[in-house]
Structure 1
Amino acid sequence: MTTPDSTPDRTPVTGDGSVAGPPRRRLAAYGLGSIGTGVFSTVPGLLLLYYMTDVLGVAAGLAGLVVTLPKAWDAFLNPMVGAASDREAVRTGRRTRLLLAGTLALPVAFAAMFLCPFTGAAAEAWVATTFVLAASAFSLFQVPYVALPAEMSDDSAARTRVMVWRIVFLTLGILVAGGLAPAVVDAAGGGRPGYAAMGATVAVIVAAVLAVATRGTRWVRSRPGPEPLGLAAAFRTARGNRAFFALLTAFVAQAAGVAVMLAAAPYVATYRLGSYGLTSALFVCLVAPSALAVPLWGRAAHRYGRLRCFTVATCGYAAGAAALLPAVAAGAVPAVLALCVLLGICYAALQVLPLALLPDTVLADAARTGHAQSGAFTGLWTAGETIGLAVGPGAYSLALAATGFVSSTLDHPVAQTSAARTGVLLGFSVVPAVLMLLSLPALRRYGKRRAAVSSPAPALAKDLL
């Protein structure tokens, strides 16, 4: 096996000998990558469906298929990338090559998604092809990137600190996507020119932050093994980790709920609140509070327990989403924005806490099986997340089609029926609330299964409680 990076490990150590975690400059370098992943995870879910139905004139049902199928491919690809990442880590002691490949390919494919010169069927083919390429490039970066925290420290508190930094930057990326992207579209005149300018602007940002993260995480010594498992063997090994799959089930349901709400936002702004420009305001109110709330959730989790706080935040998000139904129906914009602030506070916990729990299940499984397959588990995790993010817009597009929504272009706008406007509203309120509530049984199963996963240390077993 190739000797890993010989750079001295300067990870801080506390007075009692426990690992305090990487220094801030390393945390910042790692966290910056989440700006890029947050942007890519958000912009297609927020704008791509609307771009196809209201700029390119693609029928809602077909547009939903285009948005969903590339994500389905990504869900298939992610576990293979995870296995490849583990093989690279065994050979080189790092996961840098796949990170670099994603860094180079993703910005180009992302910009191409919003440079479509066609309308109708040709536009479907263009967006589908470029979205598949972008999703594949994203997988090359995201899977090894998510695997790194489990290898940055053996201390669960230090890993939670890593996740807090990551989610703060992820929130900034989501804020850039939801606040800046629609604003750039408007500033560039809307339509095809506006979306093309937005795609190019966001691509430059993604390229810069992914490059910093790729270079800034070369110090991480990856330790899978004792030898890499093949994809089938990795699946068999992971199958016995019931706590992991319970946590993943909850996360997928919640990702679908958030994705439905994101896909619905521009439609709600346009057809229920009277202005597409409110899309940015809705998104900023949803995401900006979460940037401030992430450290607070980290402290609360340390005091009250991560699973307990995760459950409280899930219930809070469900209640806030349900309350949007009467607020949006009444056209009460201030009330809608205030509820989005509440949702943003809960959303912070839905981001940081499951990712803080994920490395614990990976390391606990390593004690059970003797194989530390971080890449395999994060490949499964990101595949599940991708499925959730795909199901949301796909299901919403089908709901639009079922309620009679009519696609259009800016040159030929169409007034929507009352049934279509009701479908727009339900996707922004009731559907996310229901999906959040459906995730609660999985969280309960996770709490029950935690004892079934062997812990490498008593402190970890206590933390899984």
Structure 2
Amino acid sequence: MSGNSARTTAGVWQIRLGSLLIPLAHAAGQNLVTVLGLRFMTDSLAISAGAAGAIFAFVKIYDGFADPAVGAWSDRAKTPWGRRLPFLLAGGIAMPLGLALLFGAPSFGSIVLAQVFVTLALVIHATGYTLLTIPGFAMLVESSSDPRERTRLMAWRTYGNAIGTMLGSTLPAWLLAMTGPTRGGHLLLAAVVGGVVLLATVLALRLLRHAPRTVAPERADAAKVHPIRALGRQVMLAWDNVPFRTLAIAHVFLLFGTAIGSASLAFYTRVGLEQADTVLGTYFMLATVAMLVSMTGWVWLSNRIGKKRAYIAAMAIYCVVQLSWLLAGPGEPMALIGLRGALSGFSGAGMILCAYSLLSDAVRYDYVTSGQRREGAFAGFTTLFDKLSSAAALAVMGGFLAAMGYVPSASGMAAQQGEGARMAILLCVSVFPAVSMVAAIAAMAFYKLDAASVEAAERQGQA
């Protein structure tokens, strides 16, 4: 008995650590591109802000529509490793490759060729991100039927996301401060972060190889259904899940706000605050520390007042933090910048934990009420909405900066910017994210599912 208990405990901790490493990997690779990708394209490759935003939007849209397909594919996959692990391995290889191509882009002597090359690099990177995130989230939902254990796993996932965020934002900014914003400096940070992504993925595969797995039920008519028609059917089924639909709408607004807030911060610290990249790195370091330290508190609070209320509270805090940038300017004390970073990380912990914990409840509710195993498809739809909102955010930001006169550069440093461009950067880092959070909070007013309802459905299904 004691031996079985020890093995079971070991299995639980392996799943928790694996649940940490997968988001660590994809958060590191994704944050590097989110924070520095747009600025690298405008200030190192001389691509206009409008064109750079359009490229990001195109890639995000491609990746978004690939998400449900990957999710459904992983739901149906049959391999000796199970349904999910081969996808994770492929993603752990593709993301570093995309990073190396993007930040190691050669000098073509042609803006058009540079645009084509970085688009290809971003497509490879985005595909890797999808291959890591979709099966990773689906495995987490499959691993436990206990809502409280899934909340714990979401906390571990959020820990991993926080560490990955620091490795993909703080570490690269500090490296650039040491090397200077050169082509070689950008390639170095891509190599370092890419190595982190690959190593974390390989370790996660070892930890999760014996994790609980579910098997898709055999369907005699599966081969007769056209893939596009099958995907359309899955979309309709997911949209009929009212709790999931409500969360998805709120998530779109939340991701729009956080995407534009993160991408604009790299511009704002350099142009608006007139600070070196060390300040940007320190900001994200403090945000990550606050995220890690506050996670236990958010788990306690979500259990105490409910996940929905905790989620709304986290979004409200983030809204206030972003609006506070309206009061900042050149010469802003580092203490105030650091305080904003800490509060941003504190609110980010609550938003990530509650968002995905609520989503796991909605997906589990779908299973216990329908009997269908669609975890991968729901994970795909979740990231589809994420990508579309991020695409809209980067397209809006790039187009807005271009319209307000942002001047691109090939030197690695920002060109001298006029008042219009400086005002556009300020609005992108403050007002746009705040308005998005208010819209997300309004959407959450319509969310009705709670943990008790999921548990009741579980008991009814077992009866």
Aligned residues of 2:182 and 2:412 also touching (Cα < 8 A): no
Change (3 A) 1:241 1:90: farther
In structure 2, C-alpha distance between the alignment counterparts of 1:287 and 1:431, rounded to whole Å: 23
Structure 2: stretches of 5+ with no match in the other structure: 223-229
Greater shift, 114-123 or 73-82, is seen at 114-123
1:65 corresponds to 2:66: no
Aligned residues of 1:168 and 1:294 also touching (Cα < 8 A): yes
Aligned residues of 1:263 and 1:392 also touching (Cα < 8 A): no
In the alignment of these two chains, the number of paired residues is 444
1:121 corresponds to 2:122: no
Letter in 1 for 2:368: A
C-alpha deviations, 1:168-225, integer Å up to 9, x for none? Answer: 1110000111110122223233221111111111111111001111222122233254
1:252 corresponds to 2:241: no
In structure 1, C-alpha distance between the alignment counterparts of 2:184 and 2:391, rounded to whole Å: 26
In structure 2, C-alpha distance between the alignment counterparts of 1:99 and 1:52, rounded to whole Å: 28
Shift of 1:456: 5.6
In structure 1, C-alpha distance between the alignment counterparts of 2:334 and 2:40, rounded to whole Å: 24
Change (3 A) 1:369 1:340: same
Change (3 A) 1:113 1:368: same
In structure 1, C-alpha distance between the alignment counterparts of 2:335 and 2:85, rounded to whole Å: 46
1:53 corresponds to 2:26: no
Aligned residues of 1:252 and 1:384 also touching (Cα < 8 A): yes
Among candidates 150, 163, 166, match of residue 157 of structure 2: 166
Aligned residues of 1:79 and 1:379 also touching (Cα < 8 A): yes
Residue of structure 2 in register with 1:366 after alignment: 367
Shift of 1:9: 11
TM-score, normalised by the number of residues in structure 2: 0.90
In structure 2, C-alpha distance between the alignment counterparts of 1:222 and 1:360, rounded to whole Å: 18
Residue of structure 2 in register with 1:298 after alignment: 299
Change (3 A) 1:10 1:359: farther
Residue of structure 2 in register with 1:220 after alignment: 211
TM-score, normalised by the number of residues in structure 1: 0.90
Residue of structure 1 in register with 2:226 after alignment: none
C-alpha deviations, 1:375-404, integer Å up to 9, x for none? Answer: 000010111112222222222111111111
1:85 corresponds to 2:74: yes
Aligned residues of 1:311 and 1:440 also touching (Cα < 8 A): yes
C-alpha deviations, 1:350-409, integer Å up to 9, x for none? Answer: 111111111211111113322121000001011111222222222211111111111112
In structure 2, C-alpha distance between the alignment counterparts of 1:168 and 1:111, rounded to whole Å: 26
Aligned residues of 1:86 and 1:376 also touching (Cα < 8 A): yes
Change (3 A) 1:410 1:220: same
Aligned residues of 1:93 and 1:221 also touching (Cα < 8 A): no
Aligned residues of 1:107 and 1:203 also touching (Cα < 8 A): yes
Residue of structure 1 in register with 2:343 after alignment: 342
In structure 1, C-alpha distance between the alignment counterparts of 2:383 and 2:172, rounded to whole Å: 24
Change (3 A) 1:460 1:42: farther
Residue of structure 1 in register with 2:143 after alignment: 152
C-alpha deviations, 1:74-94, integer Å up to 9, x for none? Answer: 001000000001001699744
Aligned residues of 1:186 and 1:194 also touching (Cα < 8 A): no
Aligned residues of 1:151 and 1:220 also touching (Cα < 8 A): no
Letter in 2 for 1:63: A
Residue of structure 1 in register with 2:386 after alignment: 385
Residue of structure 2 in register with 1:402 after alignment: 403
Among candidates 189, 192, 201, match of residue 183 of structure 2: 192
Letter in 2 for 1:66: I
C-alpha deviations, 1:300-327, integer Å up to 9, x for none? Answer: 1112211111111111111121122112
- Determine helix, strand or coil for the equivalent of 1:23: helix
Residue of structure 2 in register with 1:29 after alignment: 18
In structure 1, C-alpha distance between the alignment counterparts of 2:458 and 2:405, rounded to whole Å: 52
Aligned residues of 1:188 and 1:197 also touching (Cα < 8 A): no
Among candidates 454, 458, 465, match of residue 456 of structure 2: 458
Change (3 A) 1:96 1:411: closer
Aligned residues of 1:237 and 1:369 also touching (Cα < 8 A): no
In structure 2, C-alpha distance between the alignment counterparts of 1:411 and 1:362, rounded to whole Å: 45
Residue of structure 2 in register with 1:4 after alignment: none
Greater shift, 407-416 or 348-357, is seen at 407-416
Residue of structure 2 in register with 1:95 after alignment: 84
Change (3 A) 1:253 1:74: same
In structure 1, C-alpha distance between the alignment counterparts of 2:96 and 2:266, rounded to whole Å: 24
Structure 1: stretches of 5+ with no match in the other structure: 1-6, 13-20
Aligned residues of 2:405 and 2:421 also touching (Cα < 8 A): yes
Aligned residues of 1:83 and 1:231 also touching (Cα < 8 A): yes
Letter in 2 for 1:457: E
Change (3 A) 1:349 1:460: farther
In structure 1, C-alpha distance between the alignment counterparts of 2:301 and 2:452, rounded to whole Å: 26
In structure 1, C-alpha distance between the alignment counterparts of 2:382 and 2:342, rounded to whole Å: 28
RMSD: 2.5
Change (3 A) 1:80 1:411: closer
Give the share of equivalent positions with the same residue, in percent: 27
Letter in 2 for 1:255: L
Residue of structure 2 in register with 1:15 after alignment: none
C-alpha deviations, 1:408-463, integer Å up to 9, x for none? Answer: 1227853111111111111111111110001012211113xx28x995632879xx
| Aligned pairs for 1:235-250 within 5 A | 235-250=235-250
Residue of structure 2 in register with 1:16 after alignment: none
- Determine helix, strand or coil for the equivalent of 1:148: helix
In structure 2, C-alpha distance between the alignment counterparts of 1:38 and 1:339, rounded to whole Å: 21
Aligned residues of 1:26 and 1:216 also touching (Cα < 8 A): yes
Letter in 2 for 1:387: L
Greater shift, 172-181 or 278-287, is seen at 278-287
Letter in 1 for 2:311: F
Change (3 A) 1:224 1:239: farther
Change (3 A) 1:416 1:369: same
Shift of 1:166: 1.1
Shift of 1:132: 0.5
